[in-house]
Amino acid sequence: MDIAGKNALVTGAASGIGRATCEAFADKGAAHIHLVDVNAEGLEETARLCRDKGTECTVHVCNVGDLAALEATFADANAATPLDIVYNNAGIVTGAPLFPDGPVSRIEAMTDININAVFAGTRFAIDHMKGRGGVVVNTGSTSYNSTTFPDILYIATKAAVFGFTAACAQLEQSHGVRVCSVLPGLVDTPIVNTTGDGGKADWMERILRDNEALPPSALAAGVVGLVEDDACAGENRVVRAGE
């Protein structure tokens, strides 16, 4: 799909990979981007960056883990500008303490935000794109099949996104919507600072010391590539340093 003149909705748009992807969509001439996040201040900054590039933006402060709120956000966005591209990108890490410690509510937050919002966001996208076609990109992670990455809940939620995306390949035929995922390796974004108790976990410090992190712009280029590649239904595409 050619991004020029298209309307997009991006979750997790206030920071990191989401913000960089909004900027990349704007560089490609996107007409309108609906920016979704819980961080109102960050959303305004992303909107400013994209408007400077000539792309219209609407800010939606929304917790994607609240599926009723997410459904309403998709409906509002699509009513304003029919959606062509949806990027389900918002995500969190477990933080300290890691599973199996910590409150059970953390399991709910991880599944609500990292899994359910991706499944539901794909469903809401298809509700609105049906008959017109469109592209959905999800954010997984190269850690989806790791047995050593310390954040067990994170691995498991990203494994769910991997399996979901691969299975959604068939929706191109049945519903005319292409679903794919980007699997980032290590990326230099604020999420790494939420792995510990009020900052970076020691294990994350070690990972950052021993591995090269990509800038968010490299991931944004990967997402643009998936949107533009009409042959990648169901693909989980790795974007990491050294590849």
Ligand X SMILES: NC(=O)c1ccc[n+]([C@@H]2O[C@H](COP(=O)([O-])OP(=O)(O)OC[C@H]3O[C@@H](n4cnc5c(N)ncnc54)[C@H](O)[C@@H]3O)[C@@H](O)[C@H]2O)c1
CB of 133 to ligand X, least distance (A): 25
Cβ distance to ligand X smaller for residue 72 or 176: 72
CB of 161 to ligand X, least distance (A): 8
- The length of the chain is 243
Cβ distance to ligand X smaller for residue 19 or 28: 19
Cβ distance to ligand X smaller for residue 1 or 213: 213
Examine the residue annotation and report whether 87 is marked as an active-site residue of this protein. Answer: no
Which of 124, 154, 162, 164 is catalytic? The answer is: 154
Write out the residues near ligand X by the rule CB under 6 A: 11-12, 14-18, 37-39, 42, 63-65, 89-92, 113, 139, 141, 184, 186-187, 189-191
Q: What gap in Å lies between CA 43 and CA 225, rounded to an integer?
A: 24
Cβ distance to ligand X smaller for residue 191 or 221: 191
- Strand segments (E) across the chain: 7-11, 32-37, 56-61, 85-88, 134-139, 177-184, 236-239
Cβ distance to ligand X smaller for residue 172 or 222: 222
CA 57 remoteness from chain centre: 18
CB of 170 to ligand X, least distance (A): 24
CB of 79 to ligand X, least distance (A): 20
CB of 77 to ligand X, least distance (A): 14
Task: Specify the long-range contacts of residues 155-162, CB closer than 8 Å, at least 24 apart.
Answer: 157/91, 157/110, 157/111, 157/114, 157/115, 158/114, 158/183, 160/114, 160/115, 160/118, 161/114, 161/115, 161/118, 162/236
Q: Does the bond joining 82 to the residue before it have cis omega, within 30 degrees of 0?
A: no
Q: 16-27 and 40-52 helices cross at what angle (nearest 10)?
A: 20
CA-based angle 116:98:19, to the nearest 5? 50
Annotated catalytic sites, by residue? 154
